[in-house]
Amino acid sequence: MKYEKPQKKNPNELVIKQHIFPSKSIRRFVQNNGTVNVKLVKQNKVIKLPPDDKLFCAKRSWDQRAETGYMKEIEDKFQTLASKIVTNKIKNIGESENRTVSEFFALWELRFYKNLNPIDDTELKEILPGKSYTKNEEEILEKSNMVFAKASARDKVSIPSRFMNSQSIQMGIYERIAQMGYLKWGIVSSHEGEFIVPDNFSNNAILPVSPNIILLWDSNNLVIRRSEVIKVNQLAISCSKTFYFAKELSSCPV
C-alpha cells in the first residue's frame, strides 16, 4: 500500500520515515565510520549503511500519535535500560525491566509485520460523509493525536490505514505481553564472535542489544561459546525477509 504524502515541505512536521528497529539500537552496532554492514537477502549483496537509512524504515505506516506517543515511550524506556546493560550498570533483568523488554520486543515484531501486511483503509458502512477537511486540517488533527475519516468521490467514508495499524499494534502489544506471561529475559553475552541482527526474528524472542549482547526470553544470564553464537546467527539469517545487519559481518560466525 502506498503511503499518504504530507503537504509540500511537510509544514506540520509529521514523521514520514518511521524506524521499525530504532536508530538508537542500530547505532550500537556502527563501525567508526558510522555505518553497519547490511546483507541484502534477495540481491545477495553486502553494503554499508548509516542507521537513518530508509532501508530500516517504514513510510508512514502508523500515525503520529503512535510514533510520538506510546511507541516513543516504549522505545525510551528500553534505550535507557539497554544503555545500562551495555555499560554493565545492570546485570540482571528485574520485574519492571522485564516488561520494558517484552514491550519493546513486541513493538519491533508488530511494526515489522504491519509494515508488510498493513490494514487497508477501513470503510465505515452506512455512514454519510460529514465535514470535509483540507489537507492542512487533516494534518493538524493528526498532529493533535486525533483520528479522522475521509470521504471518497463515491461518498464512501473510510479511516486511513495508518490509524488502523496504530491501534492494531497497540492492542497487539498488550496481547503479546499477556502471552509471554511472567517468564523473564536473560542477558546473553558471546564469549567469541558477534551477533547478527535480522529485520525480524519471526516470533523467536531474541533481542539484539550490541555486537556481543542479546536478550533471550525464558533464559538465565549466560555467556555462550562460538558454537551457540552460530546457532543464533543462523536463526537470524533464516528469519530475515529483506536484510540483516551487523557491525562487521565477517566477525559473525555462521
Tally Cβ neighbours within 10 Å of residue 233. 23
Q: Which three cell numbers stand for residue 238?
A: 533464516
Q: Which residues contact 211 (CB under 8 A, 6 or more apart)?
A: 28, 29, 194, 195, 246, 247, 248, 251
Q: Distance (Å, rounded) from C-alpha 46 to C-alpha 68?
A: 32
Domain ranges (residues) in the chain: 17-121+160-251
Say what the pTM is: 0.95
Residue with cell 512536521: 13
Q: Find out whether 246 and 193 touch, Cβ atoms under 8 Å.
A: no
Are 189 and 222 a contacting pair, CB within 8 Å?
yes
Q: What is the pLDDT along the chain (254 residues), one digit of tens a residue?
A: 789 999 999 999 999 999 999 999 999 999 999 999 999 999 999 999 999 999 999 999 999 999 999 999 999 999 999 999 999 999 999 988 999 999 999 999 999 999 999 999 988 876 666 667 899 999 999 999 999 988 776 678 889 999 999 999 999 999 999 998 888 999 999 999 999 999 999 889 999 999 999 999 999 999 999 999 999 999 999 999 999 999 999 999 99
